[in-house]
Structure 1
Amino acid sequence: MINITIDNILKEKCPNLTLGCIIANVKVNDFNEELWKEITKECTNIENSLEIKDVLTLENIKASRDAYKKFKKDPSKYRLSSESLLRRIVKGLGLYTVNTIVDINNLISLKTNNSVGTYDLDKVNGNIIFTLGHEGERYEGIGRGEINLENLPVFEDAIGKFGSTTSDSTRAMITKDTKSILMNIISFNGDINMESHINNAKNLLELYSNAKIVETRIIK
């Protein structure tokens, strides 16, 4: 099985950092009506219960922003994907559908207030380490243009960096041709409810993408 580790450079600054990982074989579809109903319900609940000022007080969002500050990365300039999703919902802008895997990814992020990254395993090479980006490192972010990776928490394989808690790269993005995925639920707030988050993600993947779960693990 693929080896996934957290670099000590992250653990030293954020000892509670935890990854909830799911490896699965999936079927990617353009759209699923029942899944979209679940997403719409979640978005409505968030929109009716939160204001913009409330987003920064959410426990997992606050822990994530505090982590960025420890890494000397401005969380207001390089917003976490989890915070960006929530702010979009609270502003009444709603979500856009991409495909069933990306839609599930976004729903899990909304439910957990954690950044979630899902990657095409066929486009990942070798072992994976969650580490910090170095000076001068960049990649093409999905819908974001070039991302400055310096001091950003990033996933790296034998080829290079391919994902972060702000924006994932186009290299390992999910497409209609994706057959196997790695989903990472990233918590800077410890393993609180992580087992439950993984089980919820597994159920969504099985229900809406015909997933065959290969492995799950919690990494600290």
Structure 2
Amino acid sequence: MYHITVFSEINVACPCFEGVAVYAKVKNSAYSEGLWHEINAFTEQLTSEAQLQDIKSQPAIAATREAYKRCGKDPGRYRPSAEALRRRLLRGIPLYQIDTLVDLINLVSLRTGYSIGGFDADRIQGTELQLGIGKAGEPFEGIGRGVLNIEGLPVYRDALGGIGTPTSDNERTKMGLETVSILAIVNGYSGADGLREAAEMIQTLLINYAESDGGEILYFK
């Protein structure tokens, strides 16, 4: 299991921050019919009950947006991933289908409002991760986004550098069909409430759709 250190600069800017990580052995697949039944059911529920203007008031999303402001980033230009996913659905654009591991992380993010990092654990360098704030010029290649300016964004770093922000994870540690170990990190800028439920939701989906035993949970702050 990994050891995650939260730097003081995060604690000063975001004193309520707490996190939870799930590490598990998995078997990925290109598509899961059962998982997409759950995704489509959630999409139907969200689009029938919510409006675009409601997104920013969702507690976990609102807290992440406030964390961006405190760390020095404009959340209107660099949206947290959970907000971007909800905006996509409420604008009538279907959720993109990638693979089972990515799709299930997206579902948990949509349900909870947490921006969740999903990493191929075997691509992470070392077992120590550090959560800090991105620096000017710090190299980071966002998944499908090219070079991402992470200055002022909360960022997880391994021994080689940044691997994940609430806006995008890094190409270097992304999950794929070859992934057999996953590290999923839930960022609780709204505090501890809801973290256990989110972690257990990830575990349940991994058990149901990724041939996993659910793995281990690590809380950190």
TM-score (norm 2): 0.97
Q: How many pairs are equivalent?
A: 220
Provide Cα deviations, 1:31-74, integer angstroms capped at 9, x if missing partner. 00010000011111111111111111111111111111111100
Task: Report the equivalent of 2:58.
Answer: 58
Aligned: 1:98 with 2:98: yes
Task: Please say if residues 72 and 152 of structure 2, whose CA atoms lie closer than 8 Å, have aligned partners that are also in contact.
Answer: yes
Task: Report the equivalent of 1:82.
Answer: 82
Q: Mean Cα displacement is larger for which, 96-105 or 133-142?
A: 133-142
Task: Report the equivalent of 2:7.
Answer: 7
How far apart, in 1, do the equivalents of 2:114 and 2:77 lie?
Answer: 18
Gaps of 5+ in 2: none
Q: Offset of 1:213 from its aligned partner?
A: 3.4
**1:213 aligns to what SS in structure 2?**
coil
Q: Offset of 1:151 from its aligned partner?
A: 1.1
**2:214 aligns to what SS in structure 1?**
strand
Gaps of 5+ in 1: none
Q: Which runs of 4+ in 1 moved over 6 A?
A: none
How far apart, in 1, do the equivalents of 2:5 and 2:170 lie?
Answer: 19
Task: Please say if residues 117 and 186 of structure 2, whose CA atoms lie closer than 8 Å, have aligned partners that are also in contact.
Answer: yes
Aligned: 1:190 with 2:187: no
How far apart, in 1, do the equivalents of 2:40 and 2:145 lie?
Answer: 24
CA RMSD in angstroms, aligned pairs only? 1.0
TM-score (norm 1): 0.97
Provide Cα deviations, 1:155-206, integer angstroms capped at 9, x if missing partner. 1010111111001110000011111110011110001021111111101011
How far apart, in 2, do the equivalents of 1:154 and 1:178 lie?
Answer: 22
**2:173 aligns to what SS in structure 1?**
coil
Aligned: 1:36 with 2:36: yes
What amino acid is the match of 2:5?
T
Aligned: 1:149 with 2:150: yes
What amino acid is the match of 1:99?
D
Q: Offset of 1:214 from its aligned partner?
A: 3.4
What amino acid is the match of 2:72?
K
Task: Report the equivalent of 2:124.
Answer: 124
What amino acid is the match of 1:201?
I
**1:79 aligns to what SS in structure 2?**
coil
Q: Mean Cα displacement is larger for which, 25-34 or 138-147?
A: 138-147
How far apart, in 2, do the equivalents of 1:209 and 1:96 lie?
Answer: 19
